[in-house]
Amino acid sequence: MSFSDQTRSPQAPARNDLPVSVRALGTQARAAARTLRSLPTSHKVAALHAIATGLRANAHTILAANAQDVQAAAEAGLPAPMLARLRLDAQALEGIASDVEAVSRLPDPVGETTPAQTQPSGVRVHTRRVPLGVLGVIYESRPNVTVDVAALALMSGNAVILRGGKETVRSNAALEDVIHAALRGQNLPAHAVQVIRDPARERMLELLKLDDLVDAIIPRGGAGLHRFCVENATVPVIVGGIGVVHVYLDPSFTRDPEDRARALEIVRNAKVQKPSACNALDTLLIHERALDALPGIARDLQAHGVTLRTDPAAHAALSAAGITTDAATDADYGTEFLALTASVKTVPSFEDALDFIAAHGNHTDVILTRDDAQARRFVEDVDSAAVIVNASPRFNDGGQLGLGAEVAISTQKLHARGPMGLRELTTTKWVVEGNGEVRE
């Protein structure tokens, strides 16, 4: 499905209380952000617990709205994988509520300070960690993102404007209602979390250009969505979740039978566990002296439904073992598949692997090696959001890296890089204290 298909305006449910424009949402969010920025941690924790309680208490309403979304999406021909992302059940909703409670247990970064230093002028200076302010998050067919992002925004002291896909209009409206009731019950501004319920592209364009009210746009979706945001926004855009994931298999990791088994398991986990994830394997780079390990890996992947696209050397090695694969084209390298498809590229040396990753990588790159010097060189040389030694790329995830949760995985270098948790939704400001000093 193209991005233009995903953003075409459908027949949205009628609603009489829509704000006049997205600008009205921004004005309300900016006012809410002033309250949130100095909110004590205990108040934020209480708000998240109230949201979790509200989700459980209103499960029937939320699931009924979601069922309507799923039915409408199925009738519109939404592909099965996207229907699966859209669908909620009681177990999934309980998991969402539990995730909100998990966010409430994370350390609050707001208010952290650096040690004060006295300057020659006599003033004392330090930095203080503060919320970004107002976030705009644009995403597609996962209603759980609505709650996940709301929880992360609130815990980090930010207001947020959420724009989900047209498939989630009813689900997101029901979730917003629950969140608003929970916030009001805690005497907090309901406008701290707002959903754009009109899915028309024009509303998204309004949000992208609201630079006087919104501090950052965070898109979550495919390359088309990210490119659209970058090309149309006047608000700073934090680009993430897009990039090719490589696993490089060195011969040193294939000499021992146990290592071969580990390599097979890592590659399987990287590709099969969640093929639609941004940290799933796209390209297996294999040293030419490790090709004898490829048939076992290929058979295992194919048994799990993976289509392999191979270069001539890998194709020949697999054909000799009676394994049929598709021939890779140049376009298959540098492609983020997000499906049960992977490319295989044979390299004659470790240096060639580094060069290939430099040309195609930026997201998550893995080396499987028993050469410590080679591992160190890989970590130093590969310029990606995450580099991983002897483990699956699926560990490039906020929860797995100790952040508790994430709003996105940033693949850019300014402000934040990698999984964006609570700390990455904050910035710093300088605090200068004096006693009548003036600058000479």
Non-local CB neighbours of 374 within 8 Å, separated by 6+ positions? 250, 252, 350, 367
Provide the angle, in degrees to the nearest 10, between the axes of the packed helices 90-104 and 143-155.
10
pLDDT of residue 91: 96
* Tokens coding 154: 């609130």
Report how far Cα 27 is from the mean position of its chain's Cα atoms. 27
Instruction: State the DSSP H helix or E strand holding residue 303, giving kind and residue range, or none if neither.
Output: helix 294-303
Cβ(239)–Cβ(230) below 8 Å: yes
The closest alpha carbon to 391, from 383, 379, 403, belongs to: 379
Task: Evaluate the CA torsion angle 87, 89, 93, 99 in order and state its sign.
Answer: negative
Using one digit for the tens of pLDDT, what is the confidence trace for 99-129?
A: 999 999 999 999 999 999 999 999 999 999 9
Bridge partners of residue 130, in order along the sequence: 427
CA distance linking residue 94 with residue 46, whole number of Å: 18
Cβ(210)–Cβ(23) below 8 Å: yes
pLDDT of residue 292: 97
Residue labelled with tokens 């209380």: 17
Bridge partners of residue 173, in order along the sequence: none
Cβ(333)–Cβ(284) below 8 Å: no
* Tokens coding 265: 């398991």
Tell me the domains of the chain and their CATH numbers: 30-240+417-431 (3.40.605.10), 244-402 (3.40.309.10)
For the chain, report the end-to-end CA distance as a whole number of angstroms: 63
pTM of the shown model: 0.85
Cβ(271)–Cβ(281) below 8 Å: yes
Tally Cβ neighbours within 10 Å of residue 76: 11
Provide the angle, in degrees to the nearest 10, between the axes of the packed helices 294-303 and 312-320.
80
CA distance linking residue 263 with residue 429, whole number of Å: 46
Cβ(298)–Cβ(318) below 8 Å: yes
> Amino acid identity, residue 209?
K
Rounded alpha-carbon distances, angstroms, from residue 18 to 199, 243, 311: 12, 37, 54
Spell out, as residue ranges, where the chain has pLDDT lower than 50. 1-19
Q: Which residues of 236-263 are buried (b: 16+ CB within 10 A; e: fewer)?
A: ebbbbbbbbbbbbbbbbbbeeeebbeeb
Counting Cα atoms < 13 Å in the Cβ hemisphere of 336 gives 19
pLDDT of residue 48: 98
CA distance linking residue 282 with residue 237, whole number of Å: 25
Q: Are strands 418-420 and 307-310 parallel, antiparallel or unpaired?
A: unpaired
